């Protein structure tokens, strides 16, 4: 049965479009209060807008450093212009019509929703190919009600995470495409683009390569998928890196982004697969296994040569022990599942586990190529789940891959409930299925696992534009401020900052943390070695409180108690913001 011939596909696609529009309108309404002031929920989104502004203002395309961070040295960044381009394009298009301020607001609100539209379309196509239009539509409905996924697509969420999640089901579309060569090319392009955006795509590239190599070995007609994938991934990664980073990036070694380290293994995979196909052909299973082994072996061998310190080194180790412990280890979205709380552990695991079971059941009931497509989803979901166990923020990709199987299971159970002769079974059985949706599973688990906590007094949002507004009255200067305040200070004011929570600026991060944690006398030396002219803090900021807890006699703790050292002169501002002018030596 060909999925493209199903008569319900156009109607299901139209309903999917309407669901996306309804979800987008609902989120715009829910976040309407944050839009006029650019009230970003995450500092990375503010930093992204600062990067876009600098680019529009004349910063070179290949220069993504933040020159208002840790001046005069600047704060190096590893972010991709691919993510900047969508935001910048809308700002440039709309500025002549509604002004720069309005254009920024519309762009920051719209781009995440457009990415959500792309995610919706990719998931719909993938689910329809494996199970038909009805299940595809249900999968879309589950997607658009899943907080674990939607959190990365809310208005103002302009950082790169939405791009990564959107490209995952696009790669999945290629994995289950009925035309193997086209599918391999689509997946190769999706992963080449994903790698350019973030090196977090590396495990998924290996995962798709393994899945395609397995199918290539088992069936001759699947060889074009693996070959097309390998050639497209290697060639696409090479071209995109040269285009978006510059030719010099082809020989630069960076462990935290696509670079010489990871690029040339992919190129080696492409070249050796192409050569092996010509030499041994694809007629027998043994020859196809040999092709996959040669390509994989070449990639691994090349990585052992290019990897250098990236083979075992930690790109965050350069932060130093204090900064590593007080900043990096506190970023829970990058930590493994065993360091998360019980509630989050269930949120990470339950939807993928249900998706794995459902996909296995669907595979057992399918036949022929339909079974292979379900088994492909099962393999990819298992790999994505393993990645999410190591890095919490990867849970969204695993949850997306789980949706086709969960939709299949829900539809099957609904039909069984409706077939009952008992009205009570039909009603209660159908309603109970809500607990098997991702949002139902996660909500039920959190309700059971969450520990009651004493009520806390409400604290001001230190990153809000209204809180940071007094800084505009100061002459343009460099501020010594907590890391989490840095990006919003860049967006809301003319000032520069010493550090933000972006690891390549190890010197700035270390200076900020040591300056607040050290005793006032030692802090004066640390801060004096920077270009800072003011010290800025904010009551209630979690990061700032952590510094005070680390050293009760440190600068942060002293300032929190109202005991400023003599080398700091208070500047009258409205609480919760606190500002001191640094007196010269």
Q: What is the pLDDT of residues 30-54, one digit of tens each?
A: 999 999 999 999 999 999 999 999 9
**Which whole-number Å values give the CA distances from 346 to 120, 279, 438, 439, 573, in the listed order?**
25, 50, 11, 12, 44
Checking if the pLDDT of 153 tops 60, the result is: yes
Arithmetic mean of pLDDT, 482-510: 93
Higher-confidence position of 78 and 401: 401
Arithmetic mean of pLDDT, 436-465: 79
Residue 307: what pLDDT?
A: 87
Strand bridging mode 534-538 / 577-582: antiparallel
Residue 107: what pLDDT?
A: 97
Residue 540: what pLDDT?
A: 85
Query: Residue 329 CA to chain centroid, in angstroms?
Result: 18
What is the CB neighbour count within 10 angstroms for residue 577? 20
Smallest CA-to-CA distance from 115 within 168, 76, 79 is with 168
Tokens found for residue 560: 């929190």
Percent share of the chain, pLDDT over 70: 96
Contact present, 477 and 496 (Cβ < 8 Å): yes
Give the span between the Cα atoms of 208 and 214, in whole angstroms.
10
Share the mean pLDDT of the chain: 91
Checking if the pLDDT of 293 tops 90, the result is: yes
- Name the pLDDT band for 424 (thresholds 50, 70, 90): confident
Arithmetic mean of pLDDT, 203-227: 94
Smallest CA-to-CA distance from 150 within 439, 454, 445, 556 is with 439
Smallest CA-to-CA distance from 68 within 367, 489, 565 is with 489
- Name the pLDDT band for 317 (thresholds 50, 70, 90): low
Checking if the pLDDT of 12 tops 70, the result is: yes
Query: Residue 349 CA to chain centroid, in angstroms?
Result: 18
Contacts (Cβ under 8 Å, ≥6 apart) of 198: 80, 160, 164, 257
How much is the pTM? Answer: 0.93
Smallest CA-to-CA distance from 54 within 64, 42, 46 is with 64
Checking if the pLDDT of 206 tops 70, the result is: yes
Q: What is the pLDDT of residues 167-194, one digit of tens each?
A: 999 999 999 999 999 999 999 999 999 9
What is the CB neighbour count within 10 angstroms for residue 149? 25
- Name the pLDDT band for 572 (thresholds 50, 70, 90): very high
Arithmetic mean of pLDDT, 478-503: 94
- Residue 309 sits at the vertex; the CA angle it makes with 308 and 310, to the nearest 5 degrees, is 90
Residue 329: what pLDDT?
A: 84
Residue 7: what pLDDT?
A: 45
Collapsed DSSP state (helix, strand, coil) of residue 128:
helix
H-helix segments, 328-394: 342-365, 368-390
Collapsed DSSP state (helix, strand, coil) of residue 147:
helix
- Name the pLDDT band for 240 (thresholds 50, 70, 90): very high
Arithmetic mean of pLDDT, 354-359: 95
Sign of torsion, CA 432 436 442 446?
Answer: positive
Residue 252: what pLDDT?
A: 86
- Name the pLDDT band for 399 (thresholds 50, 70, 90): very high
Residue 4: what pLDDT?
A: 41
Residue 313: what pLDDT?
A: 61
Give the span between the Cα atoms of 384 and 396, in whole angstroms.
9
Tokens found for residue 83: 């993510």
Tokens found for residue 461: 């949002």
Tokens found for residue 213: 């190599």
Checking if the pLDDT of 367 tops 60, the result is: yes
Residue 2: what pLDDT?
A: 39
Q: What is the pLDDT of residues 336-351, one digit of tens each?
A: 999 998 999 999 999 9
Checking if the pLDDT of 28 tops 50, the result is: yes
Contact present, 352 and 398 (Cβ < 8 Å): yes
Tokens found for residue 50: 């600062």
Q: What is the pLDDT of residues 502-528, one digit of tens each?
A: 888 888 999 999 999 999 999 999 999
Checking if the pLDDT of 232 tops 80, the result is: yes
- Name the pLDDT band for 212 (thresholds 50, 70, 90): very high
Query: Residue 294 CA to chain centroid, in angstroms?
Result: 33
Residue 267: what pLDDT?
A: 96
Give the span between the Cα atoms of 127 and 387, in whole angstroms.
22
Give the span between the Cα atoms of 433 and 444, in whole angstroms.
12
Arithmetic mean of pLDDT, 69-92: 94
Residue 1: what pLDDT?
A: 38
Residue 310: what pLDDT?
A: 84
């Amino acid at each position: 049965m060909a999925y493209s011939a199903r008569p319900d596909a156009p109607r299901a696609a139209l309903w999917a479009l309407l669901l996306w529009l309804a979800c987008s309108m609902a989120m715009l309404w829910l976040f309407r209060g944050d839009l006029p002031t650019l009230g970003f929920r995450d500092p990375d989104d503010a930093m992204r807008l600062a990067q876009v502004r600098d680019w529009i203002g004349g910063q070179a395309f290949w220069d993504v450093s933040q020159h208002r961070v840790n001046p005069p040295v600047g704060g190096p960044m590893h972010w991709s212009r691919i993510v900047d381009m969508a935001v910048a394009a809308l700002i440039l298009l709309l500025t002549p019509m509604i002004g720069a301020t309005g254009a920024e607001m519309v762009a920051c609100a719209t781009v995440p929703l457009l990415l959500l539209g792309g995610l919706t379309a990719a998931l719909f196509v993938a689910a329809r190919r494996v199970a038909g239009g009805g299940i595809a539509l249900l999968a879309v409905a589950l997607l658009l009600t899943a907080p674990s996924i939607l959190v990365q697509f809310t208005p103002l969420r302009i950082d790169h995470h939405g791009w990564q999640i959107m490209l995952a089901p696009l790669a999945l579309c290629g994995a289950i495409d009925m035309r193997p060569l086209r599918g391999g090319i689509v997946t190769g392009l999706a992963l080449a683009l994903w790698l350019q955006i973030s090196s977090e795509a590396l495990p998924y590239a290996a995962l798709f390569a393994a899945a395609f190599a397995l199918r290539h070995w088992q069936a001759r007609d699947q060889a074009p998928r693996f070959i097309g994938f390998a050639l497209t991934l290697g060639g696409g990664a090479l071209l995109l890196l040269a285009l978006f980073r510059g030719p010099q990036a082809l020989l630069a070694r960076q462990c935290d982004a696509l670079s010489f380290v990871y690029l040339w293994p992919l190129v080696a995979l492409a070249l050796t697969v192409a050569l092996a196909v010509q030499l041994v052909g694809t007629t027998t299973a043994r020859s196809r296994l040999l092709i996959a082994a040669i390509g994989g072996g070449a990639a691994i061998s090349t990585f052992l040569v290019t990897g250098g310190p990236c083979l075992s080194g930690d790109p965050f180790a350069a932060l130093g022990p204090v900064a590593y412990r007080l900043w990096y280890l506190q970023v829970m979205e990058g930590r493994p599942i065993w360091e998360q709380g019980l509630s989050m552990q269930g949120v990470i695991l339950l939807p993928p586990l249900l998706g794995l079971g459902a996909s296995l059941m669907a595979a057992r009931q399918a036949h022929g190529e339909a079974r292979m497509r379900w088994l492909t989803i099962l393999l990819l979901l298992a790999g994505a789940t393993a990645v999410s166990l190591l890095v919490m923020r990867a849970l969204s990709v695993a949850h997306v891959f789980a949706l086709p199987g969960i939709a299949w299971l829900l539809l099957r159970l609904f039909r069984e409930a409706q077939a009952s002769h008992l009205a009570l079974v039909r009603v209660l059985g159908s309603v109970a299925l809500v607990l098997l949706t991702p949002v139902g599973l996660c909500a039920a688990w959190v309700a059971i696992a969450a520990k009651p906590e004493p009520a806390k007094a409400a604290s001001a949002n230190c990153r809000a534009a209204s809180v940071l507004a007094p800084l505009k009255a100061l002459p343009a200067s460099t501020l010594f401020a907590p890391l989490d305040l840095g990006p919003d200070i860049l967006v809301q004011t003319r000032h520069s900052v010493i550090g933000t929570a972006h690891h390549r600026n190890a010197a700035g991060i270390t200076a900020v943390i040591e300056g607040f944690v050290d005793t006032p006398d030692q802090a004066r030396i640390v801060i004096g070695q920077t270009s800072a002219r003011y010290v800025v803090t904010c009551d209630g900021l979690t990061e700032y409180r952590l510094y005070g807890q680390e050293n009760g006699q440190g600068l942060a703790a002293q300032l929190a108690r109202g005991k400023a050292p003599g080398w700091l002169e208070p500047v009258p501002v409205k609480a919760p913001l606190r500002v001191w002018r640094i007196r010269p030596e």
